[in-house]
Amino acid sequence: ALIRHWKQVTGSAPAIELVLICGGIFAAAGCLAVLYSFYLRIIESRNVRRYQLLREHYSERIAWLLFGDTQTRIAGMDELRKALGPEIFTTRRNKSALVDVLLLLKQNFTGSISHEAGRLYRAAGLHFYSMQKLRRRPWHKKAEAMYELSVMDTRQAEAEITRYIDHPNPVLRMEAVDALVRFRPSDIFPFLEKLTYPLTEWQQMSLIDIFQEGGTENIPDLGPYLRSDKNDHVIFALKAMTSFELQKYTPAMISLLRHPDTRIKKAAVTAAGEMLAPEAVPALIGEYDAGDDRLKAAIVRAIARIGGGNARTFIKSLKYRDKSLAGNAARKALGEMGLYSPESKISSVKQ
């Protein structure tokens, strides 16, 4: 390529010496790039190993403080510095390692151990470190800070985190919503109403996981969500309802089977099947003809799961020989009921 370019510019071939010099320069540059990449990998591997050793070091000291023969109550930063060593506040890496250890204790233990992990986090002033990350760092550091502050129940960070629930970055939005739910698991509807972005599938499942961590007493009233004019909130409420088997919302679920939005209607159909609600069967049958092929198949699966005489009669009446999704669902349902038997190429339903 260099030779062709030289010919186009000068009209003559370059001297062989010039070609060799240029080739040598490019070869040397390539070797340096390879060596530099190996150097960076070695440095990264060394830093990861140092961080792991640091976490192990703090884990041992924290375990000695909490479970040792002479358990010591750490009241302030000076006492913590004496117990864990003065180096814990010298670098961000040391602080980050200590935060990781305390987060593991907070998440994996309950009662006094979990409470003590949160108290040590505040006694060490690590909530100030997390707040600094939230305000000054790149987006992934902000996400880390929201998680740390919410798990450690640092309520003074709530107003700061609320600013991110409509952030353009979807990861920051999700972490902000998750953090606020951890702060107020039973009173999340007011701030969810302020969202301008829809709740994604990931966010919905994440919120349900947080409710499960906190126990059923922290589940909010799902009534406002089921009546919301935001479709993603309604779908979220239906998923939460089935996850916790909240039978009291069955009438609201049945009314949603007639919702004009197909996504909500399908979510309500799925919820009816998972809740095993026999009172929903008439409404499901009534909506069958109005749905598309996918919705019809979902209705058949839901009715088959609920079971009962009406379910068997309805599914036997369907065109189970169709190659449609609904036909496939009907054949599978009849087979599970013991009513469908393939005979060579002809399928029949046992009378």
Buried/exposed 173-188: b ≥16 CB within 10 Å, e otherwise:
bbbbbbbbbbbebeeb
Q: What is the pLDDT of residue 257?
A: 92
Statement: the pTM of the whole predicted model exceeds 0.95 = no
Give the contacts of 84 (CB within 8 A, at least 6 positions apart).
58, 61, 62, 98
**% the chain with pLDDT above 70:** 78
pLDDT in tens, 289-340: 888 888 888 998 898 888 887 778 888 777 665 677 877 888 887 777 666 6
pLDDT at 272: 93
Is the pLDDT higher at 274 or at 54?
274
In this model, does residue 346 exceed pLDDT 60?
no
- State yes or no: pLDDT of 266 exceeds 90: yes
Count the Cβ atoms, other than its own, within 10 Å of residue 49: 10
- Decide if pLDDT at 38 tops 90: no
- Name the packing angle between helices 92-108 and 139-151 (round to 10°): 40
The average pLDDT across 27-36 equals 83
Predicted pLDDT at 143: 92
Query: Residue 255: pLDDT band by 50, 70, 90 thresholds?
Result: very high
- In this structure, how many other beta carbons lie within 10 angstroms of the beta carbon of residue 82? 11
Residue 130: partners with Cβ closer than 8 Å, 6 or more residues away: 99, 145, 148, 149, 152, 154, 157
